[in-house]
Amino acid sequence: MKNTFLNLAVSGVQGLKPYLPGKPVEELERELGINNILKLASNENPLGPSKRVLKALKAEQLEVEIYPDGNGFMLKQALAEKFDLQQEQITLGNGSNDVLDMIARVFLCQGREAIFSQYAFAVYPIATQAVGAIAKIAAAFPPDHESMPYGHDLKAMLALINEKTRVIFIANPNNPTGTWLAKKTLKAFMDQVPKGVVVVVDEAYFEYVNEAEYPDTLQWLDQYPNLIVTRTFSKIYGLASLRVGYAVCSEEIADLLNRVRQPFNVNTFSLVAATTALKDEQHIKRCADLNREGLAFWREACQARHLSFIPTVGNFITIDTERDAMPIYESLLREGIIVRPVANYGLPHHLRITMGTKEQNRRCLAALDKVLSLS
- Rounded to whole angstroms, the Cα distance separating 177 from 317 reads 7
pLDDT reported for residue 1? 46
Q: What number is the average pLDDT over the span 119-142?
A: 95
* Close Cβ partners of 219 (under 8 Å, ≥ 6 residues apart): none
- Rounded to whole angstroms, the Cα distance separating 7 from 300 reads 52
Instruction: Inform me whether the pLDDT recorded for 7 exceeds 80.
Output: no
Chain-centre distance of CA 242, in angstroms?
Answer: 15
Nearest to 339 by CA among 314, 358, 361, 357: 361
pTM of the predicted model, to two decimals? 0.93
pLDDT in tens, 248-306: 999 999 999 999 999 999 999 999 999 999 999 999 999 999 999 999 999 999 999 99
pLDDT reported for residue 146? 86
* Close Cβ partners of 179 (under 8 Å, ≥ 6 residues apart): 148, 149, 150, 151, 152, 173, 310, 311, 312
Q: What number is the average pLDDT over the span 86-113?
A: 96
Instruction: Inform me whether the pLDDT recorded for 76 exceeds 60.
Output: yes
pLDDT in tens, 133-162: 999 999 999 999 988 999 999 999 999 999
What CATH number is given for 63-279 in this structure? 3.40.640.10
- Give the domain ranges of the chain: 21-43+282-374, 63-279
pLDDT reported for residue 207? 97
Fold match between domain 21-43+282-374 and domain 63-279: no
- Rounded to whole angstroms, the Cα distance separating 132 from 203 reads 25
User: Confidence class of residue 32 from pLDDT cuts 50, 70 and 90?
Assistant: confident
pLDDT in tens, 269-284: 999 999 999 999 999 9
Q: What number is the average pLDDT over the span 165-191?
A: 97
Domain 21-43+282-374, what architecture? Answer: Alpha-Beta Complex (3.90)
